[in-house]
Amino acid sequence: MVVCVCNAIKEQELREAARDGELRCAKSAYARLGRKPKCGQCLNFARNIINEPATNS
């Protein structure tokens, strides 16, 4: 699933970025991926993904 249309960030990319580091916010995850939020519509969804407990999928 695409989380951020502006930056073409997929949910799996965001989960990997969150899993690899001690990220507390979506902007930090975007920075880790070398991107910046643009319109901001995705930030709440991205924040929810980052704050979810890790699952074994």
- Map out the domains of the chain as residue ranges: 2-51
**pLDDT tens-digit series, residues 1-41:** 999 999 999 999 999 888 876 777 889 989 999 999 999 99
pTM of this structure: 0.78
**pLDDT tens-digit series, residues 37-56:** 999 999 999 999 988 865 54
CATH architecture of 2-51: Orthogonal Bundle (1.10)
Using an 8 Å Cβ cutoff, are 51 and 19 in contact? no
Q: How far apart are CA 23 and CA 16, in angstroms?
A: 11
Using an 8 Å Cβ cutoff, are 49 and 12 in contact? no
